[in-house]
Amino acid sequence: MDEQKIFRISFFPHIRDKASTSRIMLDVIIALLPAAAFGVYNFGWRALLLILICTATCMLSELLWDVCMRRRIMLRDMSAVVTGLILALNLPPTLDWWAAVIGSVFAIVVVKMLFGGLGQNFMNPAVAAKCFLMISFAGRMNTFVFQNVASATPLEVLKAGGNVDLLQMFLGNTSGAIGETSALALLIGAVYLFIRRIIDFRIPLFYILTVVVYISIYSMITRGGIDGTFLAAHLLSGGLLLGAFYMATDYVTSPVSPSGRIIYAVILGLLTCTFRLFGSAAGSVAYAILIGNLLAPLIEKVTRRKTFGKGAHLK
Amino acid sequence: MKKDTIFKRLYHGILIENPSVVLCLGLCPTLAVTTTAKNGLAMGIVTAAVLILSEFVISLLKRIIPKKDRMIVYVLIAACWTTIVQLVLNAYFPDISESLGIFVALTAVNGLIFGRADGYAIENNPFLSIFDGIGFGIGYTLIITILGAIREILGIGTIFGIRIIPDGYTLSIAALAPGAFFLLACLIAIANKIKGGRRV
């Protein structure tokens, strides 16, 4: 590793920055804290317990893997904490602790470490673990209890044709996964990420924009006009904001080129809405991001910037 | 070249060149029908039977099979034996035949059979070919049964129908296609570890 300190080999222009993996991860953790805090306030101590279990299991499994495989222990980069936190925020507060442990171990060991650790994983570990848990424990993952009453998430209410309270959805006093209910808390965190320049605006913007366009067209066809409540409820519910700002923007699994990011975000939006409106509402954001992650290398290849002067003589 | 023996054939088939985890032949049934240990075992035995019989016949006919058209002859021979095995299965074990479904018929085009027919039976004598078939058949059956057992324990919570894990605590992804890929990959990793970098 010392060689890297002596030689810094890269293409010009060189931009020096103090950014490091651990600093970026720390910023993401800070940005997620409002949502996590609101989740604990909303769902009580069980939510806190799940967040702690997921984070601890992720860190522990990364540590154990590094020790067993005689790798350098990279726990200090805090990516395991982020994975655990995002996974926990995606879980229903009533989930059994052992299912959360299984999900965390799957995220770190199978999705991240088996493929070479941070930077090598082809899927977002937290999203993959969420889908893994949704397939494995469909019943447990779709039971949402809010204020001691089993209740449907706003998205399920919407799908069944019921009415939702938009203000409560914005504030987060609804049923759902720990971190996805409060749009306000997620937006506060997102603003922090933008100020710290951690995430690119393109992915969340075009993701949400695509959802707006898709839902508008859908409601124009099926309801004879754009239904503002329906549209707003779709934007505020089902972890769309959590997915758009925190999960889809993962550096490792999203394309690098600006145009690639737009394509990626549009694909995510189309998939999410298709899953929501024509399939089962549960986990549509997670599945969309998973498919988007798998397409990312292809998008990267298509949108690669041409080397200056290359290919011009062929025309 | 060292002299080929019965023992060497068995050893290669079961361990050194295990069809499932080393050569990765015939993965379609390996992944598709291994939802339970019983299905895995049945599929393994069906494949082994077709493999042994096909290798024997191909080895007998090796002088008259034209080199250029050998694949079509392999398909014909394998399809004949598959039909016979399938009829036997239908007659005596209808429930197993039901649960294996189309995959019994697909044994006729299993890569393992062509791999061994072209890789061994066509160049060697019928007696050793039978043991080649037995070795590779056992190797295949072993892995497919282990995979079926693991998937049954994790996914359904039973082993050969006996309940081990209480209902509601099972990892149902193991019974689905993604689980089959994950677990087969784990078995291949273990096999690579045991072989320790030795070449086939």
The 3-state secondary structure of A139-152 reads: HHHCCCEECCEECC
pLDDT greater than 70 at residue A159: yes
Instruction: Give the model's pLDDT for residue A174.
Output: 85
pLDDT greater than 60 at residue A233: yes
CB A65 within 8 A of CB A71: yes
- The answer to the question of residue B194 being in a domain is no
- Locate the chain A residue with the closest alpha carbon to B171: A136
Instruction: Give the model's pLDDT for residue B150.
Output: 92
Residue pLDDT, tens place only, A132-145:
999 888 888 888 88
- Please report, rounded to a whole number, the percentage of residues in chain A having pLDDT higher than 70: 93
- Scan for tokens 């995606």, then name that residue: A90
Q: How many Å apart are CA A29 and CA A43, to the nearest integer?
A: 20
pLDDT band, residue A305 (cuts 50/70/90): confident
* Cβ separation B173–A102 shorter than 8 A: no
CB A137 within 8 A of CB A131: no
If you average pLDDT over every residue of chain A, what do you get? 86
State the count of interchain CB pairs (< 8 A) between A and B. 14
- The answer to the question of residue B90 being in a domain is yes
CB contacts, 8 Å: A102 with chain B: 171
User: Two tokens at A185?
Assistant: 């808390």
Indicate the residue of A102, A110, A136 with minimum beta-carbon distance to B172.
A136
Least confident of A192-206, A236-250, B154-168: B154-168
pLDDT band, residue A8 (cuts 50/70/90): low
Cβ-based interface (< 8 Å): residues of A facing B: 102, 110, 132, 135-139
User: Two tokens at A86?
Assistant: 């995002």
CB A169 within 8 A of CB A155: no
In this structure, is the dihedral angle defined by the CA atoms of residues A294, A299, A305 and A306, taken in order, positive or negative?
Answer: positive
Question: Between A209 and B10, whose confidence is greater?
Answer: A209
- The answer to the question of residue B190 being in a domain is no
The boundaries of the domain holding residue B104 are: 6-149
- Please report, rounded to a whole number, the percentage of residues in chain B having pLDDT higher than 90: 45
Residue pLDDT, tens place only, A26-60:
999 999 999 999 999 988 888 999 999 999 999 99
Q: How many Å apart are CA A73 and CA A78, to the nearest integer?
A: 11
User: Two tokens at B146?
Assistant: 């282990």
User: Two tokens at A49?
Assistant: 């317990």
- Scan for tokens 């499932």, then name that residue: B20
Instruction: Give the model's pLDDT for residue A186.
Output: 92
Instruction: Give the model's pLDDT for residue B161.
Output: 80
Residue pLDDT, tens place only, B63-112:
999 989 899 999 999 999 999 999 999 999 999 998 888 889 999 888 89
- The answer to the question of residue B162 being in a domain is no
At how many degrees (to 10) do helices A202-223 and A228-236 cross?
Answer: 140
Q: How many Å apart are CA A2 and CA B178, to the nearest integer?
A: 41
* Cβ separation A136–B182 shorter than 8 A: no
Chain A nearest CA to B101, separation (Å): 25
- Scan for tokens 């293409």, then name that residue: A11
Residue A16 φ/ψ, nearest 5 degrees: -90, 135
Residue pLDDT, tens place only, A51-110:
999 999 999 999 999 999 888 888 888 899 999 999 999 999 888 899 999 999 999 999
The verdict on B90 touching A (C-beta cutoff 8 Å) is no
* Cβ separation A135–B178 shorter than 8 A: yes
**CA torsion, ordered A85, A91, A93, A97, to nearest 10 deg:** -80
Angle at A55 between CA A49 and CA A61, to 5 degrees: 125
Q: Provide CB contacts within 8 A for A172, sequence distance 6+.
A: A38, A42, A181, A182, A183, A184, A185
Instruction: Give the model's pLDDT for residue A315.
Output: 46
Instruction: Give the model's pLDDT for residue A264.
Output: 95
pLDDT band, residue A312 (cuts 50/70/90): low
Residue pLDDT, tens place only, A252-290:
899 988 899 999 999 999 999 999 888 876 788 999 999
Instruction: Give the model's pLDDT for residue A143.
Output: 81
pLDDT greater than 70 at residue A3: no
Return the residue in A135, A140, A141 with the most chain B beta carbons within 10 A, the one to mutate for interface testing. Answer: A135
- Locate the chain B residue with the closest alpha carbon to A134: B173
Give the global pTM.
Answer: 0.84
- Locate the chain B residue with the closest alpha carbon to A96: B169
Q: How many Å apart are CA B19 and CA B117, to the nearest integer?
A: 13
Instruction: Give the model's pLDDT for residue A64.
Output: 94
- The answer to the question of residue B81 being in a domain is yes
CB contacts, 8 Å: A103 with chain B: none
- The answer to the question of residue B169 being in a domain is no
- Please report, rounded to a whole number, the percentage of residues in chain A having pLDDT higher than 90: 47
- Locate the chain A residue with the closest alpha carbon to B172: A136
Q: How many Å apart are CA A279 and CA A292, to the nearest integer?
A: 18
Rounded average pLDDT over A190-194? 93
Residue B10 φ/ψ, nearest 5 degrees: -65, -45
* Cβ separation B173–A138 shorter than 8 A: no
* Cβ separation A110–B178 shorter than 8 A: no
- State the alpha helices, DSSP H only, in chain A: 2-6, 21-43, 45-68, 79-89, 97-105, 125-136, 138-141, 154-159, 166-171, 183-195, 202-223, 228-236, 240-242, 258-278, 284-302
Instruction: Give the model's pLDDT for residue B1.
Output: 46
Q: How many Å apart are CA B155 and CA B167, to the nearest integer?
A: 10
Instruction: Give the model's pLDDT for residue A149.
Output: 76
Any idea which fold A21-303 has?
Ammonium transporter fold (1.10.3430)
Q: How many Å apart are CA A108 and CA A126, to the nearest integer?
A: 8
User: Two tokens at A279?
Assistant: 């399939």
The verdict on B172 touching A (C-beta cutoff 8 Å) is yes
How many Cα atoms occupy the beta-carbon half-sphere of B194 within 13 Å? 12
CB contacts, 8 Å: B168 with chain A: 139
* Cβ separation B172–A137 shorter than 8 A: yes
Chain A nearest CA to B98, separation (Å): 26
pLDDT greater than 90 at residue B59: yes
Residue A42's closest CA among A241, A246, A239, A181? A181
Instruction: Give the model's pLDDT for residue B147.
Output: 93
Number of domains comprising chain B: 1
Rounded average pLDDT over B102-125? 90
Residue pLDDT, tens place only, B1-44:
467 788 888 888 888 888 888 888 888 888 888 888 999 999 99
- The answer to the question of residue B133 being in a domain is yes
Instruction: Give the model's pLDDT for residue A9.
Output: 66
